[in-house]
Amino acid sequence: MSDNQETSDAEDTTPSGSATLPLRPPCERLSGHKSSVCSRSYFVVVMVFFHVYIINVIALLFYVHYNSGQEDANQSRDAPSGDHQSRESRRPPSKPEFLRDVSLTRIEGIRVGHVQKVSLVPNKVHEMRTLSLKPLLFEIPGFLSEDECRVVMQLAQLKGLMESQLMVQEGQEELAKELNLSPEEIFNLLDINQDAQLQLHEILTHSRVRDGIWLTPENLREIYTGLKADKDGDGLLSLEEFKLLSNDAFQRFLLQRGVKRSQLVRNSRHTWLYQGKGAHQVLQDIKERVTRLTRLPPALVDLSEPLQVVRYEEGGHYHAHHDSGPVYPETACTHTRLAANTSTPFETSCRYITVLFYLNSVEGGGETAFPVADNRTYDEVCLIQNDVDLLDTRRNCDKSNLKVKPTKGTAVFWYNYLSDGRGWVGEQDEYALHGGCVVTRGTKWVANKWINIDPDYQRQARYQQLVSQHPEDEDDEGLTLNPDIQSSDIHQDL
Ligand code: OGA
Ligand code: CA
Ligand code: CA
Ligand code: FE2
């Protein structure tokens, strides 16, 4: 700033000094006292105008320079005023507007089968193979050592595993009553293609979301017969047919008949293992390795969900699902709820990445299936066609586009969201649909590490600001959204 001042002072004097010379001769040509007064006042007027003009130009230059300087400093971490900026960013902002200063690394898949070497632990090089581009999915054999797998399973057992899904999900009935929906309104909600008929898949999808019971097309036909619901026998429910059924007719029918665990969306047990300070070293090491693998700011991995450990018994499964839902403008993320300004009717877990670890090699079945991986198109309706339900991992894993065999120590990871094209989280990747095929022999142990990122950058930044203000975390460098130690120095492609 002082440099600029000096230059402008110099500019101020030089032009006026040199300008006096050419102005003098015309005055000299005029004779007498009057003319000398005239020439002097003429000279003063001209000089005043000239100076005002020069000062205006300089002021304008200063204005432009100062404004663009501010922007540069905000945009670039290398700007000369960076020190001042970082001091600023540590202060709680008076108005919570955060400039985007973080760009999320997204690993390139190149092509299916492409292998890249990655350095995740000292003295070892891992190979990371691209399994699909839609979703962007990788496999890393030997990500965990045998010992690490054993420790994670033992810690989970010590903590105790709980049923992943309760038999019947409560609360939905009350919600429907509270909303006071008429049968017509419910019918319209279910009729996705709005053809005034309920197709099998429209009912199936609904039932899975509503009470977690996994109906097959045959089950549904049985129910129709049992309840005499499809009067004209065309396999569809018209509004008239639908109106004759009571609100929870299907559910009551099923409960009367009894629901087995194998008829649920998910048949497994799980627990959660905290990975922060004080946790078992193996758990902290895994978190650190995941940070290197994904090349994301450590703070994002630190603030994500704990490690989920899942155990499937023989006969266990997990039908195809998305680990995280779509995001609409009014969707909130579970992890940043703390920082949300308003409460919203939709909430999802905002799991940007799933890292799935196989803790044992399964004797039979238990593959992870990606039914529509690298499909040319994605059509939700085509997932359940005629009697083939691609979401059903008990029956149709063999029809899945991609299946990963569980091998002890292998990790797979994929992105549940696309990029927004500006270095942040974009729309949900529908191709990331996946499930656990039925275990036909032995047991299956896996662990999930989900990395939660809010697609709303402002909300994520506000959330991190809030947690980092916690006194215990004051000296925790990892809790800023602006870590300069991003990726390059901790991860190298070899
Ligand atoms: C999950 C999951 C797949 C598998 O736990 O969310 O999709 O193979 N698991 O167990
Ligand atoms: Ca319909
Ligand atoms: Ca009918
Ligand atoms: Fe999953």
Task: Using alpha carbons only, give the angle 246, 251, 252 rounded to the nearest 5 degrees.
Answer: 70
Q: Which atom of ligand 1 is nearest to the CA of 444?
A: 10
Ligand 4 centroid distance, CA of 17 (Å): 78
| 294 contacts 255 by C-beta, under 8 angstroms | no
**Pick from 412, 394, 387: which is nearest to 136 by CA?**
412
What single-letter amino acid sits at 8? S
Q: Among 164, 267, 318, which residue has the most ligand 1 atoms within 8 Å of its CB, making it the best to mutate? A: 318
Q: What is the pLDDT of residues 83-141, one digit of tens each?
A: 333 333 444 445 567 888 889 999 999 999 999 999 999 999 999 999 999 999 999 99
| Residue whose entry in the numeric block shows the structure tokens 């799935």 | 356
Ligand 4 centroid distance, CA of 285 (Å): 23
* The predicted structure's pLDDT at residue 34: 42
| Residue whose entry in the numeric block shows the structure tokens 């939905």 | 172
* The predicted structure's pLDDT at residue 111: 98
Task: Using alpha carbons only, give the angle 22, 25, 31 rounded to the nearest 5 degrees.
Answer: 155
Record the tokens describing residue 244, joined without a space.
């004759």
Ligand 2 centroid distance, CA of 371 (Å): 24
| 77 contacts 483 by C-beta, under 8 angstroms | no
Ligand nearest 368 Cα, by number? 1
**Pick from 407, 313, 307, 293: which is nearest to 359 by CA?**
407
Q: Is 305 exposed, middle or buried (0-12, 13-18, 19+ CB in 10 A)?
A: middle
Q: b/e map of 220-234 (b: 16 or more CB within 10 Å)? A: bbebbeeeebbeeee
262 — phi, psi (to 5°)? -70, -10
Ligand 3 centroid distance, CA of 254 (Å): 20
Record the tokens describing residue 492, joined without a space.
């190298």
* The predicted structure's pLDDT at residue 253: 86
Q: What is the pLDDT of residues 140-157, one digit of tens each?
A: 999 999 999 999 999 999
The alpha carbon of 81 is separated from its chain's Cα centroid by a whole number of angstroms, namely 32
| 319 contacts 434 by C-beta, under 8 angstroms | no
Give the residues surrounding ligand 1 with Cβ less than 6 Å away: 310, 318, 323, 368, 434, 436, 446, 448
* The predicted structure's pLDDT at residue 315: 98
Residue nearest atom 3 of ligand 1, based on CA coordinates:
436
Q: What is the DSSP string of 49-62?
A: HHHHHHHHHHHHHH
Whole-number Å distance between alpha carbons of 109 and 79? 33
For the chain, the distance separating the N- and C-terminal CA atoms, rounded to the nearest angstrom, is: 45
SS3 content of the chain, % helix, strand, coil (to 5): 40, 20, 40
Residue nearest atom 6 of ligand 1, based on CA coordinates:
323
Query: 426 in helix, strand or coil?
Result: strand
Contacts 24+ apart (CB under 8 A), 172-178: 172/210, 172/211, 173/247, 173/248, 176/247
**Pick from 311, 318, 286: which is nearest to 411 by CA?**
286
Residue nearest atom 4 of ligand 1, based on CA coordinates:
436
Ligand nearest 164 Cα, by number? 1
Whole-number Å distance between alpha carbons of 48 and 141? 79
Length of the chain as a residue count: 494
* The predicted structure's pLDDT at residue 340: 83
User: In which residue ranges of the chain is pLDDT below 70?
Assistant: 1-40, 42-43, 45-46, 48-49, 57, 59-96, 168-178, 470-494
Q: Which atom of ligand 1 is nearest to the CA of 404?
A: 8
Q: Is 344 exposed, middle or buried (0-12, 13-18, 19+ CB in 10 A)?
A: middle
* DSSP structural state of residue 95: S
* DSSP structural state of residue 263: G
Sign for the CA dihedral angle at 467, 469, 470, 476 comes to positive
Whole-number Å distance between alpha carbons of 271 and 309? 5
Query: 415 in helix, strand or coil?
Result: strand
* The predicted structure's pLDDT at residue 72: 39
**pTM of the full structure:** 0.76
Q: Which atom of ligand 1 is nearest to the CA of 366?
A: 8
Q: Among 311, 312, 368, 393, which residue has the most ligand 1 atoms within 8 Å of its CB, making it the best to mutate? A: 368
Ligand 2 centroid distance, CA of 267 (Å): 30
Q: Among 272, 313, 356, which residue has the most ligand 1 atoms within 8 Å of its CB, making it the best to mutate? A: 356
* The predicted structure's pLDDT at residue 382: 80
The CB density around residue 53, as the number of other CB atoms within 10 Å, is 11
Ligand nearest 237 Cα, by number? 3
| 321 contacts 448 by C-beta, under 8 angstroms | no
